[in-house]
Amino acid sequence: MSTSTGEILLSSRARDFDEVSLCETEEFEVAVVSVRSPRKETSEDGVLVVELAAGGIVVCAVDGMGGMRNGREAANVALDTFTERLCAIEEGAAPRAAIVDAFEMAHDRIRSRCPGGGATAACAIVTTDWIQALHAGDAEALLVGAEGQVKFRTVAHSPVGYAQHVGLLEEEEALIHAERHLVSNGLGVEGMAIHIGPRIAFEHDDTLVVVSDGVTDNARESEIVESLRRGTLMRGTEELLGLCRDRMLRSLADESGERTVGKPDDLTLVTVRRKRG
């Protein structure tokens, strides 16, 4: 008889995360915040953290695509599907296969239940030895080392993201580009593709960051690193949230017409560290 091994630690379907919340397991510290854009009444983002009985956790950030119809509904369908599939992982089964299944199931359900809707998603499998990210769209995952190095970063599935990745755009240009809101992949989008990253060693004092584009459109990579590479996880996560919120509010107040770093958007930010014994 098979045994399900997933247990929900945190879910935005069960509660709001308007402020940074800290959750601990035997092996990990997890900080979570998911807030609406200052331009909106409700958020189309969502977050899920599931603990696996066999060891490790799975972290997911979901962002309803605001330029499409039913963005909020699409994000909720994705979160419900990830929850359903991850909490039903059979004992001994690989979580990566379950996450791939969840992406494909969520894609099909969004297309049937939320016509014209779409959502981006980034998930990470986290163990005491390694992390592995899977994503579709411009939700991203980064692994930051204590010495300030970015050990891994996903590539945003967007025209601007690809241009930056191959060196056609510098980061400063990408952050103020007029088309940075365009996304070329996602759940519910025709031709949806899942990018599966490599396993990357997860060392003590490394910080895993899983985010929606509300973070990456408002903070430079170097600013994400500086916020999180030292100090407590809670402090660093709050510092990065504050930076992004300030940029959003400043962009709303700026009437100069000049393009500056900052774009009001829903924001989801999850950070993870290994605990020391």
- Domain borders along the chain are 6-254+262-274
pTM of the model: 0.93
Report which of residues 53 and 270 the model is more confident about. Answer: 270
Architecture of domain 6-254+262-274: 4-Layer Sandwich (3.60)
SS3 annotation, 101-128: HHHHHHHHHHHHHCCCCCEEEEEEEECC
Indicate whether 165 pLDDT > 90.
no
Average pLDDT over residues 120-140: 97
Tokens coding 58: 């799975």
- Residue 129 CA to residue 134 CA, distance in Å, equals 17
Instruction: Of 17-26, 126-135, 152-161, give the lowest mean pLDDT range.
Output: 152-161
Residue 35 has what pLDDT?
Answer: 96
pLDDT band of 4, cuts 50, 70, 90: low
Q: Which residues contact 65 (CB under 8 A, 6 or more apart)?
A: 44, 71, 74, 117, 118, 119, 120, 137, 183, 186, 188, 189
Average pLDDT over residues 23-49: 95
